[in-house]
């Protein structure tokens, strides 16, 4: 990846404005929150979201949390009702992330949810960052602002140590007050589930809902092939690493190709990641039943693309 000059923005009027400007232009900005610094991008911009995974060197397309300035903005991207709404009203702004049905009309890039129909959303408890989110006027996808596998950053210096030269800016909000990631709550069959313990204690959830909130499956646990039902997979069957498609197969190309369908004609892995879920959906919509996918290099974002493709190709 090319080295870019990373701006170190201060927590003042000019810094807030500049951070919002970067977000509106599809750039990557590390934002402080009360938990940890997040690596933010416009969640409605496919390429910007793909760049998050590239900058973090994430080997998998884990879904990302949306950051919004208030409950009304959250309702625009997710359908919050019942217990989810009660928790939102009780604890936002604060270190609580809620999983709720995604509103298709919000135009959120499919990479944000990894193709799921539920989206994670939260309102961070930091005036500075909520003002940036208000001015950016788009939902901001943000995983922790660290290189994948390293500890989460709680100061602007930590962000710069890992990501300097890979992102456009970091907004310096000083040290994070909570210091651990948000508590994630999901709902299955209507019941609340603690998916990740975090900054908001489980006891507080239980007290608000009047019922214990039990630990659910950890969303970070890798999903084995065969347990793929919760992931988006196309109806078409996939064969990977194909240079010569068989009769009856439609080639999904990468790099210079005569094929009608392609992840990136120029062989750009960021573009390929940004297009991946869209192309699979479009090929389904076109009624294609067998897809032969051209080889994708195992470098940079290629790791995550190949991971996602092999899940989509797993027997089901
Ligand atoms: O405190 C936090 O939550 C920080 C700050 C920046 O807000 N963010 C954070 O993001 O910790 P990240 O990407 O490091 O962790 C997000 C977690 C992952 O475990 C992911 O699997 C889960 O949230 N997640 C996000 N969207 C999901 C979805 N649609 N379905 C299931 N799990 C989801
Ligand atoms: Mg993280």
Residue 91 lies in a domain: yes
Domain count, the chain: 2
Question: Which spans in 28-166 are helix H?
Answer: 46-56, 71-77, 82-91, 110-113, 127-136, 156-163
Same domain as 153, residue 38: yes
What's the pLDDT at 224?
A: 43
Same domain as 233, residue 198: no
- Domain containing 206 — which CATH number? 3.90.870.10
Domain boundary among 158, 191, 215: 215
Which of 171, 178, 184 most suits a substitution to test ligand 1, by most atoms within 8 Å of the C-beta? Answer: 184
Residue 306 lies in a domain: yes
Same domain as 237, residue 201: no
Same domain as 40, residue 183: yes
Same domain as 306, residue 179: no
Q: What is the pTM of this model?
A: 0.88
Q: Can you tell me the mean pLDDT for 54-60?
A: 91
Task: Give residue 188's domain range.
Answer: 7-215
Residue 222 lies in a domain: no
| Residues across the chain | 316
Same domain as 192, residue 250: no
Residue 232 lies in a domain: yes
What the block records as the tokens of 51 is 């760049």
Does residue 213 line the site of ligand 1, with CB under 6 A?
no
For 127-139, write each residue's pLDDT tens digit: 999 999 999 999 9
Q: What pLDDT band is residue 221 in, cutting at 50, 70 and 90? A: low
Same domain as 201, residue 110: yes
Distance from Cα 251 to the centre of ligand 1, integer Å: 34
CA-nearest residue for atom 32, ligand 1, is: 219
What torsion, rounded to 10 degrees, do the Cα atoms 265, 270, 275, 277 define?
140
CA distances from 211 to 26, 62, 81, 192, 255 (A): 42, 30, 17, 9, 54
Residue 46 has pLDDT above 90, yes or no: yes
Which of 108, 173, 219 most suits a substitution to test ligand 1, by most atoms within 8 Å of the C-beta? Answer: 219
* Whole-angstrom distance, CA of residue 264 vs CA of residue 270: 9
Same domain as 139, residue 260: no
For 154-171, write each residue's pLDDT tens digit: 999 999 999 999 999 999
Does residue 282 line the site of ligand 1, with CB under 6 A?
no
Domain boundary among 215, 248, 270: 215
Residue 221 lies in a domain: no
Distance from Cα 62 to the centre of ligand 1, integer Å: 8
Same domain as 193, residue 74: yes
Same domain as 243, residue 187: no
What's the ipTM?
A: 0.98
């Amino acid at each position: 990846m090319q080295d870019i000059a990373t701006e170190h923005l201060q927590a003042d009027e000019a810094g807030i404005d500049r951070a919002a400007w970067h977000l509106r232009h599809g750039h990557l900005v590390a934002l402080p929150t009360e938990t940890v610094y997040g690596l933010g991008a416009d969640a409605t911009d496919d390429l910007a979201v793909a760049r998050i995974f590239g900058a973090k060197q994430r080997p998998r397309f884990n879904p990302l949390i949306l950051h919004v300035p208030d409950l009304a903005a959250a309702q625009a991207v997710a359908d919050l009702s019942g217990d989810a709404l009660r928790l939102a009203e009780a604890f936002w702004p604060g270190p609580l992330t809620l999983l709720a049905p995604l509103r298709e009309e919000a135009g959120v890039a499919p990479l944000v949810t990894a193709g799921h129909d539920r989206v994670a959303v939260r309102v961070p408890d930091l005036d500075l960052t909520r003002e940036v989110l208000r001015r950016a006027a788009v939902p901001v996808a943000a995983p922790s602002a660290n290189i994948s596998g390293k500890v989460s950053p709680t100061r602007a210096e930590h962000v710069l140590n890992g990501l300097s030269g890979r992102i456009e800016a970091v907004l310096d909000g000083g040290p994070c007050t909570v210091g651990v990631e948000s508590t994630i709550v999901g709902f299955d069959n209507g019941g609340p589930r603690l998916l990740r313990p975090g900054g908001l204690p489980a006891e507080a959830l239980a007290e608000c809902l009047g019922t214990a909130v039990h630990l659910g499956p950890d969303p970070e646990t890798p999903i084995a092939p065969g347990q793929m039902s919760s992931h988006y997979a196309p109806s078409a069957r996939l064969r990977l690493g194909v240079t010569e498609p068989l009769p009856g197969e439609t080639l999904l190309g990468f790099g210079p190709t005569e094929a009608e369908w392609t992840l990136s004609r120029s062989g750009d892995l960021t573009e390929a990641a940004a297009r991946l879920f869209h192309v699979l959906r479009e090929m389904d919509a076109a009624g294609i039943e067998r897809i032969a996918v051209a080889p994708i290099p195992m470098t940079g974002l290629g790791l995550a693309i190949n991971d996602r493709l092999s899940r989509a190709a797993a027997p089901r």
